Amino acid sequence: MTVLQKKTDNPIEHLTPEDIELIGKELDEIRQGVVDSRGESDARYIRTVIDVHRKIELGSRAVLLASGFAPAWVVGTIGLSIAKILENMEIGHNILHGQWDWMRDPKIHSTTWEWDMASPAEQWKHSHNELHHTYTNVIGKDNDLGYGIMRVDEDQPWTPMYLGQPLWSFINACFFEYGIAAYDLELGAVIAKKQTGDPEFRRRAKQVLAKIGRQVRKDYVIHPLLSGPNFLSTLTANFVANVVRNLWSNSVILCGHFPEGVETFEKKSIDGETRGEWYLRQMLGSANISGSKAMHILTGNLSHQIEHHLFPDLPSNRYAEIAPKIRDLFQRYGLNYHTAPLPQQVGSAWHKIIRLSLPNGWLQNTTARNLPTQLVKLWKMTTGKPRVRRALLREQAALAAA
C-alpha cells in the first residue's frame, strides 16, 4: 500500500470537486436526521448498557471471591472480561466522544466520565478525539497509524529493526491500555527529544501514574485481598480479564484503519481541505466489521468504523441505522465500502503487519520453493553492510514489480 496521492489507480480520480461537495452535503443531511431524532429510546439504550455492565461486573467480581474453585474462576473471568470490554468500548469510548452529552446528564457526560483504563480520560480525549479523528490516516499526523512504533506504509524505509514488528505488536496488543497511555503522553517523542523535564509533561505523567496506581491496586491488590485464601487465583483472573479486553480492543482498532485496502494520505493533501474532502478521507480511511448485533455492541459499534469516523459524536446505537444509507452513497459515487467479518479483518491487518515488517516485496517474492534462498537474502539484508542491503532491497522491489 502507498499513500493515495501516489497511487497509479487513484480510487477518487473519477470524482469532481462538485461530487465531493455533494457527498458532504448528503452526509450533513444524514447527520442532521439523527440529531433531530435523538430521544428517549436512545437515552434508555445507553442507560441500559451501563446498567448491564455494572451488574455483570458486580456479579463477576462476586463470583471471583470464590475463584479458588475452578468453575468460579472460569465464569468470573469470562464475566469480568465481557464487563471490561463493554465498559471500554460501548460505554467509555463513546461517552468520551461526547455521543451522549446531549442528554445533559452530568453522570453520563464526556467532561465527567472516567473509564477502566490506564490512560486518564482527559488525555485520551485529546490524542484520540482531537488528533486521530481530525488527521485520520494522514501519514506523519495521525499517530494512531502504527502508534509511532510500527512500519505502516511501504514508503517508510525498511530497517532490520522492523523484523521484530510482529512480536512487539503482539506484546503491545496484550498490554494495549498501557501502550495507549504511553502514546497519549507522547512518551516516545518526549524521550527522543529529551523533554522529560518539561513541567507540563511531568504533570501529565503524574496523572497517568496515579491512574495506573488506582487501577493496579484495584485489580491486583484489593480484589485479591477481598478473596482471602483465593488471593492468587483472583489476581490471575483479573490479569486474564485485562489481557482479554486489551487483545479485543486492539483487534477492533486494528480492523478500523489497518486492513489491506484502507487508504492513507499525504500530509500536504489536507492543506485547505474542505468539509466534503474531510468526509471523503474518513470514508476511504476506515473499514467496517460485519457481524451480529452482539458483536457490534462488544466492539462499541466501532464495527461501524466508517459511520463512526464520519460522525464521531452521534450516539453509537444509531450507526447501524444509517449504515445502509452510507453504503448506498459509496455505491453511487463508485467508492469501495470496506467491510468484512472480524476474523478476515483481523487476519488482513496482521498480514499487513507481517508484510511490512519485511523488506518491500519480500513476502510476495517468497514461495515454498525459493524460501531457503529468500531467507539467505533476508539474513544478508539484516546483517550485511548498508551497500549490500540497499542492493538487495532494490532487487526485491524490482522482482515484486515485475
Partner 1 sequence: MTATVPRPSSARPALRTLRDRALRWAELVTTPLLPADYLDLVHPLRAGADLRGRIEAVLPETRDAATLVIRPGADWRPHRPGQYVRIGIDVDGVRMWRAYSITSDLGRTDGCFTVTVKAIPDGKVSNHLVRRAQPGTIVQLDQATGEFCLPEQRPAKALFVTAGSGITPVMGMLRNHPELTDVVLVHSAPTAEDVVFGAELRQLAAEGRIRLVEQHTDTAGLLDAAAIAELVPDLAERATWACGPVGMLEALEEHWTAAGIADRLYTERFRPTVLVTGEGGTVSFTKNGTTLEADGATPILDAAEEAGVLMPSGCRMGICYGCVLPLREGAVRDLRTGEVTTAAPGDGVLVQTCISAAAGACDIDH
- Name the site residues for partner 1 (rule: CB under 8 A): 38-44, 51, 54-55, 58, 98, 101-107, 109, 111-112, 114-116, 211, 214-215, 217-218, 222-223, 226
- Distance of CA 202 to CAs 193, 195, 197, 310, 389, Å? 14, 10, 7, 35, 41
Q: Which three cell numbers stand for residue 43?
A: 437515552
How far is Cα 80 from Cα 242, in angstroms, rounded to an integer? 9
Closest separation in Å from C-beta 309 to partner 1: 20
Closest CB to partner 1 among residues 107, 351: 107
Closest CB to partner 1 among residues 158, 311: 311
Closest separation in Å from C-beta 256 to partner 1: 24
Quote helix, strand, coil % in the chain, to nearest 5. 70, 0, 30
Closest separation in Å from C-beta 311 to partner 1: 14
Q: Which three cell numbers stand for residue 346?
A: 483481523
How far is Cα 211 from Cα 206, in angstroms, rounded to an integer? 9
Closest separation in Å from C-beta 182 to partner 1: 19
β partners of residue 288: 339
Closest separation in Å from C-beta 104 to partner 1: 4
Q: Which three cell numbers stand for residue 61?
A: 467480581
Closest CB to partner 1 among residues 134, 196: 134
How far is Cα 255 from Cα 92, in angstroms, rounded to an integer? 19
Closest separation in Å from C-beta 241 to partner 1: 15
Q: Which three cell numbers stand for residue 53?
A: 455492565
- Distance of CA 111 to CAs 98, 115, 345, Å? 8, 12, 33
Q: Which of 359, 344, 297, 342 is nearest to 52 (CA)?
A: 297
Closest CB to partner 1 among residues 120, 285: 120
Q: Are 99 and 45 in contact (CB under 8 A)?
A: no
Closest separation in Å from C-beta 215 to partner 1: 7
Closest CB to partner 1 among residues 226, 398: 226
Q: Which three cell numbers stand for residue 181?
A: 497511555
Closest CB to partner 1 among residues 222, 388: 222
Q: Are 345 and 287 in contact (CB under 8 A)?
A: yes
Closest CB to partner 1 among residues 317, 348: 317
Closest separation in Å from C-beta 161 to partner 1: 36
Write down the number of H helices and E strands in the chain. Answer: 19, 2
Closest CB to partner 1 among residues 135, 158: 135
How far is Cα 395 from Cα 362, in angstroms, rounded to an integer? 10
Closest CB to partner 1 among residues 85, 349: 85
Closest separation in Å from C-beta 125 to partner 1: 10
How far is Cα 137 from Cα 301, in angstroms, rounded to an integer? 20
Closest separation in Å from C-beta 57 to partner 1: 9
Q: Angle CA(213)–CA(214)–CA(217) in degrees, nearest 5?
A: 80
**DSSP conformation letters of 155-223:** TSPP-GGGGGHHHHHHHHHHTHHHHHHHHHTTHHHHHHTT-TT-HHHHHHHHHHHHHHHHHHHIIIIIH
Closest CB to partner 1 among residues 101, 154: 101
Closest separation in Å from C-beta 81 to partner 1: 18
How far is Cα 381 from Cα 388, in angstroms, rounded to an integer? 7
Closest CB to partner 1 among residues 214, 332: 214
